[in-house]
Amino acid sequence: MTDPRATSVSAVRRRTVIGALRRGAVPDSGLDLLATGLGRFEAALDDELQAVASGASVFKAVRGEYGSGKTFFTRWLGERAKRLGFAVAEIQVSETETPLHRLETVYRRLTERLATSSFPPSALRPVVDAWFYALEEDALAAGASENVLAAEVEKLLTARLTEVSRHAPSFAAALRGYRSALAEGDEATAAAVLAWLGGQPHVAAAARRSAGVRGDLDHFGALGFLQGLLTVLRDSGHRGLFVVLDEVETLQRVRSDARDKALNALRQLIDEVHSGRFPGLYLVITGTPAFYEGQQGVQRLAPLAQRLATDFTTDPRFDNPRAVQLRLPGFTHESLVGLGRTIRDLYAEGSSSPERVRGLVDDTYVGDLARAVGGALGGKVGVAPRLYLKKLVGDVLDRVDQFPDFDPRQHYQLTVTPTELTEVERNLAAASADEIELDV
pLDDT digits (tens, 9 = 90+) for 267-291: 999 999 999 999 999 999 999 999 9
User: What number of CA atoms fall less than 13 Å from residue 91's CA on the CB side?
Assistant: 28
Residue 85 pLDDT grade (very low, low, confident, very high; cuts 50, 70, 90): very high
Mean pLDDT of the chain: 90
Comparing 379 with 339, the larger pLDDT belongs to: 339
Does the pLDDT value for residue 311 go beyond 70? yes
Least confident of 9-18, 306-315, 335-344, 368-377: 368-377
Predicted pLDDT at 5: 62
Q: 406: which strand partners?
A: none
Closest to 211 in 3D by CA, of 187, 190, 185, 232:
190
Q: From the CA atom positions of the chain, what is the Rg in Å? A: 25
CA separation for the pair 67, 54 (Å, rounded): 34
DSSP H/E element including 148: none
Q: What is the pTM of this model?
A: 0.86
Predicted pLDDT at 431: 42
Predicted pLDDT at 433: 43
Closest to 68 in 3D by CA, of 378, 289, 312:
289
Residues in contact with 254: Cβ distance below 8 Å, sequence separation at least 6, in sequence order? 95, 99, 262
Comparing 28 with 439, the larger pLDDT belongs to: 28
Give residue-wise pLDDT tens across range 187-199.
Answer: 999 999 999 999 9
Closest to 130 in 3D by CA, of 206, 229, 213, 34:
229
Give residue-wise pLDDT tens across range 285-309.
Answer: 999 999 999 999 999 999 999 999 9
DSSP annotation of 240 reads E
CA separation for the pair 316, 174 (Å, rounded): 49
Give residue-wise pLDDT tens across range 143-171.
Answer: 888 889 889 998 998 998 898 888 889 99
The 8 Å CB, 24+ separation contacts for 370-376 are 370/333, 370/336, 370/337, 370/340, 371/333, 372/414, 372/436, 372/438, 372/439, 373/414, 373/416, 374/333, 374/336, 375/430, 375/433, 375/436, 376/414, 376/416, 376/429, 376/430, 376/433, 376/436
State the Cα torsion 174-176-177-178 to the nearest 10°.
90
DSSP annotation of 435 reads B
Residue 380 pLDDT grade (very low, low, confident, very high; cuts 50, 70, 90): low
Does the pLDDT value for residue 93 go beyond 80? yes
